[in-house]
Amino acid sequence: MERILDKGRLGALVAALADWTVLAPALQDGLWAYRPVAGGEASLTLGHPNTVQPPKGQSFPQREVFFTFDETPDGQPRLTPLVPRPAPRVVFGVRPCDGQGLTHLDQVFGEEAPDAYYQARRGTLAYVGLACNSPPSRHCFCTCVGGSPFGEAGLDVLMIDLSDRYLVRALTPVGEALMTAGQGVLTEAGAQDRAEAQQRRLAALAHPQRAVAAPQAVPERLKAGFGSALWERLAQPCIGCGICTFLCPTCHCFDINDEVASQSPVCGSRVRTWDSCQFPDFTMHTSGHNPRPDLGARLRQRVSHKFQYYFENHGVFQCTGCGRCITACPVGIDIVTVVNQVAAEAAAMQPADS
């Protein structure tokens, strides 16, 4: 299903989606973030480059309470499970790289070992994507990692900006339902609109991006470069914070803790929170031994997970080329440079006949 949405009627479309809570990127305190929007907002636009944080928190929030625990009056332990039951939500303005990122989260929390909490949130979520006519950041590199500025993976609807209007394309049954709900606001798409969208797509694909060299060879080369001294050198400026992983659309590591509100009588909750492989305590063993003792080992883990281990397990890169980790790194650690340098060194060291 393909329709046309007049740009001035975006607020009317949101109003038509009465059965959903609508979130869209809004600029607040200098930050682009997904926020609930009210229907009928005439000023609503999708003028964002990309949001500071990806939409992953919608299905994988930074804090998830699994259950609460306490004592019954006769002193027996009692657990109260808390599986979320969120109302239907639709997230507007998701960039294709972040849509791609959602497919990785679905893989991790859905396919192999379904996670009840993730599934409960994901089941009521719909994503409306916005194609990138030009790269929103100078650090974009989606085309090197299997993505596209017009990519549809993970999205229910894709909107393509045609200056004064959007071409709106349903990609899933949920997307069809959204467009059916908004049909009063949408108009028929003609051959001219489709041709224009196709032109935009070709122009977007031709737009230069950062480049990961010979991406298909990267997993093998990183494997060969595991022991490289480059990891330590490249991690030298690293301050060991969690920005790169917490802003990543695909990083999904977590920690589980009991937050004890009272010891007597016992009560509290078991909570899952985001964790980061960049923190020293992430791999700390109870013996005091830390198998990833320094910044080089942690940089290697982050990069190799995205470009080697995940590829070995799932056949795709975990990185979607959104560029957030490059933009937000306080000291300029650049994942494209890291991959290229380690891979190039490994390639140079391999015998010519292999």
Partner 1 sequence: MIDPEELRTRARDLLEGGQVRAVIGYRRGTRGWAAEPVVITRSEEAQDLVWDPSCVHNLALYLVQDRRRRGVLRGPPDRPIGILAKGCDARAIVVLMQENYVQRDEVYIIGLSCESSGMLDERKLAGAAEGIDPQDLEAVDFEGDAFVLSSRHQQWRLPAAGVMAERCLECRNPCPKVHDTLLGKEPREQERRGQALTPAMSDPFAELQRFEQTADSVEARWDFWSRQFDRCIRCFACRSVCPMCYCEECMVDSISFVVTPDTTAQEKANRLRWIERSASRSDNIGYHLTRALHLAGRCIDCGECERVCPVRIPLRLLNTKMERESRERFGYEPGASVEVAALLSSFRDDDPNDFIR
Site of interaction with partner 1 (CB under 8 A): 29-31, 52-53, 62-63, 137-139, 236-237, 239-243, 246-247, 255, 257, 259, 271, 273-276, 279-281, 284, 286-288, 326-334, 336-337
Q: How far is the CB of 209 from partner 1 (least distance, A)?
A: 13
Task: Report the nearest approach of partner 1 to the CB of residue 179 (Å).
Answer: 34
Which is nearer to partner 1, 263 or 354 (by Cβ)?
263
Q: C-beta of 105: minimal distance to partner 1 in Å?
A: 17
- Closest separation in Å from C-beta 228 to partner 1: 18
Pick 56 or 121: Cβ nearer partner 1:
56
d(CA 92, CA 166): 13
Q: Residue 140's closest CA among 230, 211, 89, 56?
A: 211
Q: Compute CA distances 23 → 14, 198, 212, 213, whole Å.
A: 9, 28, 33, 36
Nearer Cβ to partner 1 (6/282): 282
- Per DSSP, the residues of 173-225 read HHHHHHHHHTTTT-EE--HHHHHHHHHHHHHHHHS-----SSGGGHHHHHHHT
Max alpha carbon distance in the chain (Å)? 75
Q: Name which of 28 and 354 has its Cβ closer to partner 1.
A: 28
**Sheet containing 2-6, strands listed edge to edge, beginning at the edge strand earlier in sequence:** 31-36, 21-28, 89-94, 125-130, 157-162, 165-170, 2-6, 187-188
Q: Rounded distance, CA 179 to CA 167, Å?
A: 12
Q: Half-sphere exposure of residue 72, counting CA atoms within 13 Å on the CB side?
A: 6
Nearer to partner 1, 203 or 260 (CB): 260
8 Å CB contact between 25 and 93 = yes
CB of 74 to partner 1, least distance (A): 27
User: DSSP code of 307?
Assistant: I
Beta carbon nearer to partner 1, 62 or 199? 62
**What's the min distance (Å) between Cβ of 34 and partner 1?**
13
